[in-house]
């Protein structure tokens, strides 16, 4: 009776996943997927305290926190990540919590892989910092083992050479002594066929031979049919080939990976060569694709997607252009070869503002049909545009959370509220 063999669980693609606040708040990917794809889930205590929405915080405490370990990075790791982010230009937009997540990923990466040999110290570095320590140890151990085997083989050949020859000679002599030259009692024809215990073969009739030939032809036809791909067996063949390919490919475990939705953090992770996973299918991201604004007139680029006029030339010629950041930190813009500027609105001239009014608002005839030309914004210094920008800024300031850890008061940032008048002195009566 054979003993039952223990079936080992298949290896998971990732050992440790470091989570940011974005995936926790949005619940993408779900906790079941994270547990199925990794062994350890890590985050920082600041990420949990950063979640202020009651519903999201309750969901995170119920679903994620029982399986997620909270750990704070060391100051040394925080310093390394902060210096690297300053070199990439993302330090100003990264908060303390973001830097802690990056430092935790860097620290666990060094622990799992035995150092920072697979990372980069400077943005744009062509290669990695060093060689895997395991390969160096294997090479040294292999050379030492080969030298030892060569020495042992030389000594064994010298010692076992004559002994093996003497033993072979003794075997030949013993075999010659045991041989006899007696004549065989049976005829040569009978002695030529050795006796066997197999039953005698019965000759089948000719009809049976025809049947056997037919069966053999059917077997050959069936064998030939198995080799052909037909509409009936194409799915089976595809599944069989996919299973063979999956069995032949060795699954490599990713030691540490990070999941975040912040673009600046993703940029730093890729340029440091830290593993970055997608929130949709947990696949490794090797290239980031985003969008910037590029002026069609002066070719100025900006990442502020809320801009409507070019900060350099002041014209409304900003176009949305896709760009990507490779794993080496190289920034590329993807422009159309046959791009043609849209001249819509340039066929007819803009109607003149209404005479006799300081604001130019429509108050009867003038300004085009229906007064459509009275509210056009053509420049960033136009009073309607400046008023709208000021109103939006006022609303944003009112919506600030004074208890936010990243909030800085105006006395530190230099921002001052405008009262709109002179300071009044004491009233004289």
pLDDT tens digits for range 37-72: 999 999 999 998 888 888 888 999 999 999 999 999
Same domain, 86 and 37: yes
pLDDT at 360: 56
> Does pLDDT of 174 surpass 80?
no
Q: Vertex 340, ends 336 and 342: CA angle to 5°?
A: 130
Pairing of strands 331-334, 318-325: antiparallel
pLDDT at 193: 45
Q: Which residue has the tokens 């298949």?
A: 10
pLDDT at 198: 45
Same domain, 80 and 117: yes
Same domain, 394 and 297: no
Q: Which domain holds residue 300?
A: 287-342
Point out the annotated binding site for Zn(2+): 295, 298, 310, 313
Q: Has residue 81 been placed in a domain?
A: yes
Model confidence at 373, in pLDDT bands (50, 70, 90)?
confident
> Does pLDDT of 179 surpass 60?
no
Pairing of strands 254-259, 14-19: parallel
Q: Has residue 357 been placed in a domain?
A: yes
Q: Has residue 167 been placed in a domain?
A: no
Neighbours of 35 (CB within 10 A): 13
Same domain, 384 and 337: no
Q: What is the distance between the alpha carbons of residues 264 and 88, in angstroms, rounded to a whole number? A: 9
Q: What is the distance between the alpha carbons of residues 291 and 312, in angstroms, rounded to a whole number? A: 19
- Comparing 135-139, 171-175, 274-278, the range with the smallest average pLDDT is 171-175
Residue after which a domain boundary falls, among 229, 264, 299 = 264
Among residues 53, 65, 66, which one has the least CA distance to residue 26? Answer: 53
Q: Has residue 239 been placed in a domain?
A: no
- Total domains in the chain come to 3
Q: Has residue 90 been placed in a domain?
A: yes
Instruction: Provide the 3-class DSSP secondary structure of residue 245.
Output: helix
Would you give the DSSP letter of residue 277? B
> Does pLDDT of 343 surpass 60?
yes
Same domain, 35 and 52: yes
Beta strands in 51-119 (DSSP E): 68-70
Torsion of CA 312, 316, 317, 321, to 10 degrees: 90
Model confidence at 208, in pLDDT bands (50, 70, 90)?
very low
- Summarised one tens digit per residue, pLDDT across range 242-287 is 777 655 544 577 899 999 998 889 989 998 999 999 988 888 888 7
Model confidence at 138, in pLDDT bands (50, 70, 90)?
low
> Does pLDDT of 163 surpass 60?
no
Radius of gyration of the chain (CA): 40
Mean pLDDT, the chain, rounded, equals 75
Point out the annotated binding site: 295, 298, 310, 313
Between 172 and 142, whose confidence is greater? 142
> Does pLDDT of 316 surpass 60?
yes
Pair 293, 321: CB distance under 8 Å: yes
Same domain, 381 and 324: no
pLDDT at 78: 94
């Amino acid at each position: 009776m054979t003993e039952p063999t223990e079936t080992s669980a298949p290896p998971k693609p990732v050992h440790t996943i470091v989570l940011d606040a974005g995936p926790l708040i949005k619940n993408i990917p779900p906790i079941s997927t994270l547990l199925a794809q990794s062994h350890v889930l890590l985050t920082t205590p600041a990420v949990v305290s950063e979640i202020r929405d009651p519903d999201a915080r309750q969901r995170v405490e119920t679903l994620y926190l029982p399986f997620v370990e909270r750990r704070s990075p060391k100051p040394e790791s925080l310093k390394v990540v902060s210096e690297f982010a300053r070199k990439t230009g993302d330090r100003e937009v990264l908060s303390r919590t973001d830097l802690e997540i990056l430092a935790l990923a860097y620290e666990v990466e060094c622990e799992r892989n035995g150092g920072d040999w697979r990372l980069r110290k400077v943005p744009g570095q062509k290669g990695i910092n060093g060689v895997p320590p395991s390969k160096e140890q294997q090479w040294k151990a292999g050379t030492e083992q080969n030298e030892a085997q060569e020495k042992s083989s030389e000594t064994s050949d010298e010692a076992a050479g004559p002994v093996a020859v003497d033993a072979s000679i003794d075997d030949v002599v013993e075999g010659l002594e045991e041989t006899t030259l007696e004549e065989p009692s049976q005829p040569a024809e009978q002695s030529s066929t050795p006796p066997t215990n197999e039953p005698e073969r019965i000759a089948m009739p000719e009809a049976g031979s025809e049947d056997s030939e037919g069966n053999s032809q059917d077997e050959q036809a069936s064998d030939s049919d198995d080799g052909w791909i037909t509409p009936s067996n194409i799915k089976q063949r595809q599944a069989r080939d996919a299973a063979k390919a999956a069995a032949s490919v060795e699954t490599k475990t990713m030691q540490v990976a990070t999941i975040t939705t912040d673009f600046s953090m993703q940029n730093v992770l890729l340029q440091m060569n830290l593993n970055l996973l997608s929130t949709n299918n947990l696949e490794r991201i090797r290239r980031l694709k985003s969008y910037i604004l590029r002026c069609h007139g002066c070719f100025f680029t900006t990442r502020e997607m809320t801009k409507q006029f070019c900060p350099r030339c002041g014209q409304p010629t900003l176009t949305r252009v896709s760009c990507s950041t490779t794993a080496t930190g190289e920034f590329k813009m993807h422009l159309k070869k046959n791009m043609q500027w849209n001249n819509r609105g340039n066929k007819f001239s803009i109607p003149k503002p209404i005479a006799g009014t300081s604001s130019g608002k429509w108050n009867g005839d003038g300004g085009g049909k229906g007064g459509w030309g009275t509210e056009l914004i053509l420049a960033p210094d136009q009073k309607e545009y400046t008023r709208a920008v000021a109103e939006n800024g006022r609303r944003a300031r009112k919506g600030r959370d004074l208890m936010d850890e990243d909030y800085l008061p105006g006395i530190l940032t230099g921002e001052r509220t405008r009262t709109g008048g002179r300071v009044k002195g004491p009233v004289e009566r």
